[in-house]
Amino acid sequence: MREEITAHLLEGAALRKKVAENFADVIEEMARIIIEGFKAGARLCIAGNGGSAADAQHIAGELVGRFRYDREPLPALAITTDTSVMTAIANDYGFDEIFLRQVKAHLKKGDAFLAISTSGNSPNILRAAEYAKEVGAHVLVLTGGNGGKLAAAACKALVVPAEETWKIQEIHIAVGHILCGLIEDAIFPGGKK
């Protein structure tokens, strides 16, 4: 077990190093887009399936609640949480529409949509991202592998250079935490931890 634990942690560290060397500028640009949007009164919608849905909720929770210190809430919404809305849409329109209809209801020009998909090919995420782009929202993408179709729909995409879902997800939540910290520092300078 000790060998497996060590190998897992070292693999994760090596992947984080690779992302730090190749994607720090992308993370910075994503943070700038969200920060400028929040300062202008825009909102952030976040979506994903499965573990990526949990990441969407986690990031929204940090922004609406608190990350490192007490401050005013920020307008972030995980559109993965309302089971009544999601099941009504899935029942009436199909599962591929569950995020699209919510993006149509909540996003406008200047807002941001953070789309999380380890494969980059989730049809329901892709449809929502394409619509968000059409209406002039900023489409920010966290994905992996080759980026899938979703990376092409993004104004900024971080494509984790890994194939295993768990490795990609570990980087996604780390990036989510980095974004939350950068956003807090920029919008609430001098906050107390």
User: Strands, E, within the chain: which ranges?
Assistant: 44-47, 76-78, 112-116, 138-144, 156-160
pTM of the model: 0.95
C-alpha torsion 75→131→104→124, nearest 10: -90
Q: Is 63 exposed, middle or buried (0-12, 13-18, 19+ CB in 10 A)?
A: buried
- Cβ pair 69, 55 in contact under 8 A: no
pLDDT at 24 (0 to 100): 97
Categorize the per-residue pLDDT at 9 as very low, low, confident or very high, splitting at 50, 70 and 90: very high
Mean pLDDT of 113-135: 97
Per-residue model confidence as pLDDT tens digits over 94-115: 999 999 999 999 999 999 999 9
pLDDT at 191 (0 to 100): 73
Report which secondary-structure segment, H or E, holds 33: helix 2-39
Per-residue model confidence as pLDDT tens digits over 51-64: 999 999 999 999 99
Please state at what angle helix 165-187 crosses helix 2-39, rounded to 10 degrees: 40
Mean pLDDT of 118-124: 96
Please tell me the distance from the alpha carbon of residue 40 to that of residue 91, in angstroms, as a whole number: 36
Q: Which residues are CB-neighbours of 168 under 8 A, at least 6 positions away? A: 118, 143, 144, 145, 160, 162
Handedness of CA 159, 161, 165, 167 (dihedral sign): negative
pLDDT at 193 (0 to 100): 67
Cα–Cα separations (whole angstroms), residue 76 to 50, 73, 94, 108, 139? 19, 9, 25, 14, 14
Go through the domains of the chain in sequence order and give each one's CATH number.
Answer: 2-187 (3.40.50.10490)
Token couple for 162: 């890994």
pLDDT at 23 (0 to 100): 97
Residue 190 reports pLDDT greater than 90: no
Residues in the chain: 193
Identify the bridge partners of residue 141 per DSSP, sorted by sequence position. 115, 157
Please tell me the distance from the alpha carbon of residue 151 to that of residue 136, in angstroms, as a whole number: 17
